[in-house]
Amino acid sequence: MPDFDILMVGNFARDKLIVDGVEEVASGGGVYYGSVVVKRLGLDAAVVTRLHPADFDRLQELRDEGVVVFATPAEGTSGIANYYQSSDMERRVCVPIGFGGRYAMDQIPNVSCKVIMVTPLFAGEVDLELLHALAQRAPLGLDIQGFIRVPVANGLDFRPWEEMEQGLRDITYLKVDRAEAEFITGLSDLHASAEKLHSLGPHEIVMTESSGVTVSVDGQFYSAPFTPRSLKGRTGRGDTCFSTYIAKRLSLPPKEACNWAGVVTSLKQEVPGPWKGTPQEVARLLSN
């Protein structure tokens, strides 16, 4: 029996959320939003992360949720300043404010799991050699943002991932948003983008946009809408969706896992921070 259901690898973040000029410091990163979802859905989760020791106290929130944390001290903590206007929470300006550094194989604990999720904030955290090594341990889920999103002077830009063809050969579950899919493939149609991405190796593709999530697997497409009553918890939407899908995919077919991802992500967007609801709440909404 594996030690964990899902092992997540990626830098923990100390973000700034600025809405209408009012600033709040908040925890963030795919490992933060994602691992709490996995635990709340009843699975065992572990996180491998890097951050400055001064921010280690922020990891307690994950431990309080039952997440096992393997943290490596780093010279800095990754972070993004997210600027929003409350009149349109779909639009944001993202400015990098820190970087927790690159992973080495000896920082990955020798534990077993059903899936490894690689969810970096920026390009530069995880290299091709590490991806290949992780793929020998378990099926990989990968968020493409951590390989094409590059910090620049006043923001984050998409840049080509030069080793993408080699990297995607190792991937079982790939997460992209609409903008990322178009940047990588040159195609604006999600279905056409998915077909091109499948040709590079990934078996299941999770595609997000403001209106919902679409999953492509075995020539079939499944979609679920996002129906939040507010966008106060907009930050972490993609992380929540991808983690929910993979967590439920361990026990459900793609269509049902996609539906779960749609509901959980809708609920998450209404409240800042990670989703802290219950499976019973989601099941009730799905049955309506």
The CATH number for 80's domain is 3.40.1190.20
Q: Residue 236's pLDDT is what? A: 94
Q: Residue 243's pLDDT is what? A: 99
| Helical segments of the chain, H only | 30-40, 60-64, 128-135, 145-148, 164-168, 178-185, 190-198, 237-249, 254-268, 279-287
Give the other-Cβ count within 10 Å of 23's Cβ: 11
Q: Residue 59's pLDDT is what? A: 98
The number of folded domains in the chain is 1
Q: Residue 288's pLDDT is what? A: 83
Hey, what's the torsion of the CAs at 286, 244, 141, 212, to 10 degrees?
60
Q: Which domain holds residue 175?
A: 4-287
**Distance between terminal CA atoms of the chain?**
35
CB 3 within 8 A of CB 111: yes
Q: Residue 88's pLDDT is what? A: 77
Give the other-Cβ count within 10 Å of 107's Cβ: 16
Measured CA to CA, the distance from residue 140 to residue 206 in angstroms comes to: 13
Q: Residue 122's pLDDT is what? A: 93
Tokens of 222: 């499944």
CB 236 within 8 A of CB 271: no
What does each C-alpha distance from 268 to 29, 129, 141, 203 come to in angstroms?
A: 15, 34, 21, 27
Tokens of 9: 């690898």
Instruction: Note the pTM of the prediction, 2 decimals.
Output: 0.96
DSSP state letter for 57: G
Residue whose token pair is 């929130």:
61
pLDDT tens digit at each of 288 positions of the chain: 889 999 999 999 999 989 899 999 999 999 999 999 999 999 999 999 999 999 999 999 999 999 999 999 999 999 999 898 887 777 888 899 999 999 999 999 999 999 999 999 999 999 999 999 999 999 999 999 999 999 988 889 999 999 999 999 999 999 999 999 999 999 999 999 999 999 999 999 999 999 999 999 999 999 999 999 999 999 999 999 999 999 999 999 999 999 999 999 999 999 999 999 999 999 999 998
Residue whose token pair is 């959980």:
264
CB 130 within 8 A of CB 103: yes
Tokens of 130: 């590490």
Beta bridge partners of 171: 140
CB 250 within 8 A of CB 45: no
Q: Residue 91's pLDDT is what? A: 81
